[in-house]
């Protein structure tokens, strides 16, 4: 398995030296101080040993060949351990925690150290980290300071170490380091993950107030959007109705106004036609009537005069008739005349009081009748004398003249009366016409002022309409600002044919309400807020998902750790049981009897300390945290025929035998690829050396053995012997020797 070792510039190996380990048992022999142990240390070094103490140096440069009189110091020390990998036993763990085989037939593990103390690690000449070296080697149960390299004087270390260290050695021997390593790795990851969880939580906490603030903003904005949409539809409806109203009302108003204007024009025309004013014809007529009346008065006075004259004549005639000497004369009783006159006067008065001419005629007829009757009565008295007749004739003549005159006057009077009547009639007609015109004029004026009022009212309406139009335009502007252009895009075709203003007022009130809400909510920067909210929200979501992932990996890490610990525990306890079997067997072989076993201690360190084992250390924090039940391992032995059970009471040889039994037991349970034993057999007597040799033979079936020894018995079991010598130049040299040579070389 360990094919060879190439040492160059390391400690006493000044020049490149190659040791082949192709045989199961290789023994390294040589005098004291020749450099045998340096070979062992070279292996440790190559495998990554970090303890300078284990390499017997103070610092890394101590490991480089110091130089001598003849040899100068090299610029570095380098050791390569060459492993066979035909069976692809080496592997490493990739990122996904899967073991990946190293696909080379040979694995060369190289370590270099430089005078400045710098170390370099290479696998197959490719520089890698120490961690990776350790990991690759642990895949084949090889560690730098493992149980498989037992340095000089270290054989009984397994007895003297603390229970906890022993536990580690056992774990190492059982190949459980890999679990430890994985557990530690998982725990580190767990811790890191826990840290990440805290960081993510704190980040989320940090953004939470901002997020909730933005959320509120966004909710507000969404609400605002709802309002805006509502506002848009309200506005559209309102605008459709309003513009329909404005259109129809404007048209209607124009129509009405036109009608009023036409009417006014017509009325003005009519007013001109019906203008009132003093009617000249009326005054003329009145004058004429006055004249006619005056003429009537004079005619009447004449008539009365004539009447009286006639009366007197009639009276004279009556007297003449009644008295003889006045034969022939007709005598008229004065009372009769007075009676007649009174009756005529009454009738005339009546006539005078009447305006209508037509009504006057019958009265005049009556008067005429009265006079005729009177005259007829007089004519009946006709017995007169001739003397009287002359007088009488004269009287009669006068009477006739007067009567004729009277008749003419009466005719005249009739004419006048009739004329007056017709004049009056005309006047009345004229007046009536004027009155009619006046009435019409006033009526028209009233209509006119009504129409003018209506026009005024109309202009009030017009003003109202203008105000409404302005308000409408303003509203359009506001709508654009508050609800966007969409609010102002409407189709007049959709117009509802009603122009119910109360409905519009209600709508406008609703609109106002939403506008106030919108204004209160505050506008602008909506998109930015949305954008920022989305960003922060996405970040939060991302963090939340991260948290879930992290918590998920915490869970799986915990599960992994638990499972690893369970496996570790099972393998450990099972391994210890197996070791115990082999330990007992080897112990019996070495001591010819007795009892030996390992006990897993589960108590705390204190109880181990009280048992006299281990060092003075307290439990480390890590151990407490791990709550590892397998705190340590104790060795219990009982030598045959001896009472002493305390390890401290054993002799040097007994200690060596016990530790060899245990080491070999461990090796048998989980054979390491190779086992290097540096003078483990130093303290053995001859008989024990033989037993030791037998065990070596047995072990060589399981592991490759490299034995540094001075013991001939041991040497006798080796298939290859390397003799190490050191010359005057201070450099170790290797030479293959035969057993007999070896015996000489070794001693």
- Per DSSP, the residues of 160-213 read HS-HHHHHHHHHHHTT-HHHHHHHHHHHHHHHHHHHHHHHHHHHHHHHHHHHHH
Query: Shortest Cβ distance from residue 152 to ligand ATP (Å)?
Result: 6
In angstroms, give the least distance from the CB of 657 to ligand ATP: 21
Candidates 59-67, 387-395, 464-472, 559-567 — which segment interacts with ligand ATP by CB under 6 A?
Answer: 59-67
Taking the least distance from each CB to ligand ATP, the nearer of 62 and 581 is 62
Check residue 24 for interaction with ligand ATP (CB under 6 A). Answer: no
**Of residues 406 and 734, the one with the C-beta less far from ligand ATP:** 734
Q: Which is nearer to ligand ATP, 37 or 144 (CB)?
A: 37
- State the residue number with the nearest CB to ligand ATP: 32
Instruction: Report residue 590 as tokens.
Output: 């070495």
Reported as half-sphere exposure (CB side, CA atoms, 13 A), residue 698 has a value of: 16
CA 742 – CA 718 distance, rounded (Å): 11
CA pair distance 175, 163, nearest whole angstrom: 18
Apex CA 346: angle with CA 341 and CA 352, to 5°? 120
Nearer to ligand ATP, 66 or 210 (CB): 66
Q: Which stretch binds ligand ATP (CB under 6 A): 31-39, 96-104, 198-206, 567-575?
A: 31-39
Question: Tokens 């048209």 identify what position?
Answer: 251
Nearest approach, Cβ of residue 637 and ligand ATP (Å): 29
Residues 125-154 that bind ligand ATP (CB under 6 A): 152
Tell me how far the alpha carbon of residue 728 is from its chain's centroid: 87
Q: Which stretch binds ligand ATP (CB under 6 A): 60-68, 267-275, 358-366, 410-418?
A: 60-68
Please identify, using beta-carbon distances, which residue of 65 and 674 lies nearer to ligand ATP.
Answer: 65
CA neighbor of 587 nearest in space, from 645, 548, 504? 645
Binding span for ligand ATP by CB under 6 A among 58-66, 411-419, 523-531, 554-562: 58-66
Min dist. Cβ of residue 681 to ligand ATP (A): 13
- Looking at the Cβ atoms of 49 and 242, the one nearer to ligand ATP is 49
Say whether residue 374 binds ligand ATP (CB under 6 A). no
Site stretch for ligand ATP (CB under 6 A), options 30-38, 112-120, 184-192, 531-539: 30-38
Task: List, in sequence order, the alpha helices (H) in 355-385.
Answer: 357-379
Among 21, 45, 65, 179, binds ligand ATP (CB under 6 A): 65
- Ramachandran angles phi, psi of 101, nearest 5°: -70, 145
Q: What's the CA gap between 660 and 688, in Å, rounded? A: 11
Site string for ligand ATP, 88-127 (x = CB under 6 A): ----------------------------------------
Select from 26-34, 105-113, 288-296, 685-693 the region that touches ligand ATP (CB under 6 A): 26-34
**36 interacts with ligand ATP by CB under 6 A:** yes
Q: Could you give the CA distance from residue 530 to residue 218 in angstroms, rounded to a whole number?
A: 6
Strands (E), 491-570: none
State in angstroms the smallest separation of the CB of 11 from ligand ATP.
Answer: 4
Q: Which residues of 631-644 are buried (b: 16+ CB within 10 A; e: fewer)?
A: bbbbbebebeeeee
Smallest gap, in angstroms, from Cβ of residue 164 to ligand ATP? Answer: 30
How would you classify residue 522: left for phi > 0, otherwise alpha for psi between -120 and 50, otherwise beta?
A: left
CB of 130 to ligand ATP, least distance (A): 22
Interface with ligand ATP includes 37 (CB under 6 A)?
yes
User: Counting contacts by CB under 6 A, is residue 38 touching ligand ATP?
Assistant: yes
Angle among Cα 191, 193, 197 to the nearest 5 degrees reads 115
- Pick the binder of ligand ATP from 35, 48, 311, 723 (CB under 6 A): 35
Q: Is residue 11 part of the contact set for ligand ATP (CB under 6 A)? A: yes
Number of chain positions touching ligand ATP (CB under 6 A)? 16
Which residue number, 37 or 217, has a Cβ lying nearer to ligand ATP?
A: 37
Near ligand ATP by CB under 6 A, which window of 29-37, 291-299, 335-343, 404-412?
29-37
Choice from 33, 115, 593, 612 touching ligand ATP (CB under 6 A): 33
Residues numbered 143-202 forming contacts with ligand ATP, rule: CB under 6 A: 152
Q: Which is nearer to ligand ATP, 41 or 318 (CB)?
A: 41
Pick the closer one to ligand ATP by CB: 157 or 257: 157
Within residues 443-462, the interface with ligand ATP by CB under 6 A covers none
Residue at token pair 């014809």: 281
Helices and strands: H and E segment counts in the chain:
17, 16
- Residue 274 engages ligand ATP in binding (rule: CB under 6 A): no
- For residues 727 to 746, the per-residue mask of contacts with ligand ATP, x marking binding by CB under 6 A and - elsewhere, is ---x----------------
Nearest to 575 by CA among 663, 666, 659, 672: 666
Please report how close the Cβ of residue 686 comes to ligand ATP at its closest, in angstroms: 20
How do 25-29 and 704-708 pair as beta strands? parallel
Judge residue 531's burial from the number of C-beta atoms within 10 Å of its C-beta, 0-12 exposed, 13-18 middle, 19 or more buried: exposed
The residue (of 152 and 604) whose beta carbon lies closer to ligand ATP is 152
Asked whether the CA dihedral 303, 304, 305, 311 is positive or negative, the reply is: positive
* Alpha-carbon distances, residue 677 vs 143, 591, 693, 697, 703 (angstroms): 15, 21, 13, 14, 12
* Burial of residue 141, with CB atoms counted within 10 A of its CB: 0-12 exposed, 13-18 middle, 19 or more buried: buried
Of the candidates 362, 325, 332, the one whose C-alpha atom is nearest the C-alpha of residue 347 is: 362
By beta-carbon proximity to ligand ATP, the closer residue of 112 and 171 is 112
Cα angle value 630/634/638 (rounded, 5°)? 150
- In three-state secondary structure terms, 77 is strand
Distance CA 172, CA 145 (A): 9
Q: Which of 12, 60, 224, 232 binds ligand ATP (CB under 6 A)?
A: 12
Question: Rounded distance, CA 337 to CA 319, Å?
Answer: 13
Q: What is the largest CA-CA distance in the chain?
A: 248
Q: Which residue has the tokens 């150290």?
A: 113
Rounded-to-integer distance, Cα 576 and Cα 1, Å: 26
Query: Is the CB of 224 or the CB of 709 nearer to ligand ATP?
Result: 709
Smallest gap from Cβ 656 to ligand ATP, in A, equals: 16
CA angle 422, 425, 428 (to 5 degrees): 155
**Residue 476: CB atoms within 10 Å:** 16
Q: How far is the CB of 727 from ligand ATP (least distance, A)?
A: 11
Give me the least distance between CB of 548 and ligand ATP, in Å please.
57
* Residue whose CB is less far from ligand ATP, 59 or 502: 59
Is 32 a binding residue for ligand ATP by CB under 6 A? The answer is: yes
**Least Å from the CB of residue 676 to ligand ATP:** 12
Considering the complex, what minimum distance in angstroms separates the CB of residue 684 from ligand ATP?
16
CB nearer to ligand ATP: give 79 or 218: 79
User: Per CB under 6 A, does 30 bind ligand ATP?
Assistant: yes
Nearer to ligand ATP, 27 or 139 (CB): 27
531 forms part of the interface with ligand ATP (CB under 6 A): no
Minimum separation from the CB atom of position 68 to ligand ATP (A) = 7
- The residue (of 517 and 710) whose beta carbon lies closer to ligand ATP is 710
> What is the separation, in whole angstroms, between the first and last Cα of the chain?
30
Catalogue the E-assigned strands of 435-594: none
| Chain residues that interact with ligand ATP, rule: CB under 6 A | 11-12, 30, 32-38, 62, 65-66, 152, 724, 730
């Amino acid at each position: 398995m360990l094919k060879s070792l190439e040492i160059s510039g390391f400690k006493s190996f000044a020049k490149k030296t190659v040791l082949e380990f192709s045989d199961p048992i290789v023994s390294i022999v040589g005098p004291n101080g020749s450099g045998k142990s340096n070979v062992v240390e070279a292996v440790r070094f190559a495998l990554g040993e970090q303890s300078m103490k284990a390499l017997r140096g103070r610092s890394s440069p101590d490991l480089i060949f110091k130089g001598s009189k003849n040899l100068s110091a090299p610029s570095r020390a380098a050791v390569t351990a060459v492993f066979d990998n035909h069976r692809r036993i080496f592997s490493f763990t990739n990122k996904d925690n899967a073991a990946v085989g190293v696909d080379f037939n040979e694995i060369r593990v190289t370590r270099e150290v430089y005078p400045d103390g710098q170390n370099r690690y290479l696998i197959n000449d490719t520089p890698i980290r120490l961690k990776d070296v350790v990991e690759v080697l642990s895949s084949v149960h090889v560690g730098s300071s493992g149980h498989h390299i037992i340095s000089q004087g270290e054989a009984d270390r397994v007895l003297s170490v603390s229970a906890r260290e022993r536990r580690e050695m056992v774990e190492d021997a059982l190949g459980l380091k890999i679990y430890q390593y994985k557990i530690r790795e998982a725990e580190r990851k767990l811790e890191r993950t826990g840290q990440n969880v805290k960081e993510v939580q704190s980040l989320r906490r940090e953004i939470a107030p901002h997020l909730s603030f933005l959320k509120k903003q966004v909710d507000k904005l969404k609400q605002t959007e709802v309002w805006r949409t509502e506002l848009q539809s309200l506005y559209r409806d309102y605008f459709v109705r309003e513009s329909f109203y404005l259109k129809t009302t404007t048209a209607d108003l124009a129509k009405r106004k036109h009608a009023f204007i036409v009417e006014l024009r017509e009325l003005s025309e009519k007013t001109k036609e019906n203008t009132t004013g003093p009617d000249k014809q009326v005054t003329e007529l009145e004058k004429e009537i006055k004249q006619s009346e005056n003429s009537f008065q004079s005619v009447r006075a004449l008539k009365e005069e004539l009447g009286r004259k006639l009366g007197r004549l009639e009276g004279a005639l009556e007297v003449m008739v009644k008295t003889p000497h006045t034969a022939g004369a007709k005598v008229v009783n004065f009372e009769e005349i007075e009676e007649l006159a009174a009756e005529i006067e009454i009738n005339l008065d009546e006539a005078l009081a009447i305006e209508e001419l037509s009504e006057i005629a019958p009265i005049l007829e009556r008067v005429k009748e009265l006079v005729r009757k009177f005259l007829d009565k007089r004519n009946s008295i006709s017995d007169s004398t001739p003397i009287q007749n002359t007088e009488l004739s004269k009287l009669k003549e006068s009477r006739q003249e007067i009567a004729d005159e009277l008749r003419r006057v009466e005719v005249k009077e009739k004419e006048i009366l009739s004329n007056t009547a017709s004049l009056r009639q005309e006047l009345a007609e004229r007046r009536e016409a004027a009155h009619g015109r006046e009435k019409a004029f006033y009526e028209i004026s009233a209509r006119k002022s009504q129409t003018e009022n209506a026009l005024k009212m109309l202009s009030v309406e017009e003003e109202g309409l203008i105000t409404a139009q302005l308000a409408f335009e303003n509203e359009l502007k506001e709508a654009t600002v508050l609800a966007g252009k969409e609010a102002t895009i409407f189709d007049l075709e959709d117009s509802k044919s009603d122009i119910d203003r109360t409905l519009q007022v209600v709508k406008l009130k609703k609109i106002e309400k939403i506008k106030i809400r919108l204004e209160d909510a505050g506008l602008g920067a909506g998109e930015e807020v949305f954008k920022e909210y989305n960003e922060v929200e996405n970040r939060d979501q991302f963090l939340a998902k991260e948290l879930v992932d992290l918590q998920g990996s915490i869970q799986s890490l915990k599960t992994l750790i638990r499972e690893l610990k369970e496996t570790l525990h099972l393998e450990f306890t099972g391994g210890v049981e197996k070791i115990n079997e082999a330990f007992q067997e080897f112990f019996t072989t070495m001591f010819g009897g007795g009892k030996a076993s390992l006990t897993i201690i589960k108590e705390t360190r204190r109880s181990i300390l009280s048992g006299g084992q281990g060092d003075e250390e307290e439990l480390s924090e890590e151990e407490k945290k791990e709550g590892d039940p397998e705190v340590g391992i104790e060795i219990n032995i009982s030598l045959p025929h001896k009472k002493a059970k305390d390890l401290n009471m054993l002799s040097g040889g007994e200690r060596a035998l016990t530790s060899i039994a245990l080491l070999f037991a461990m090796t048998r349970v989980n054979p390491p690829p190779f086992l290097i034993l540096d003078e483990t057999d130093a303290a053995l007597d001859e008989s024990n050396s033989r037993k030791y040799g037998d065990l070596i033979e047995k072990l060589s079936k399981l592991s490759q053995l490299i034995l540094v020894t001075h013991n001939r018995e041991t040497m006798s079991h080796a298939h290859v012997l390397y003799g190490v010598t050191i010359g005057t130049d201070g450099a170790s040299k290797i030479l293959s020797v035969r057993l007999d040579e070896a015996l000489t070389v070794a001693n």
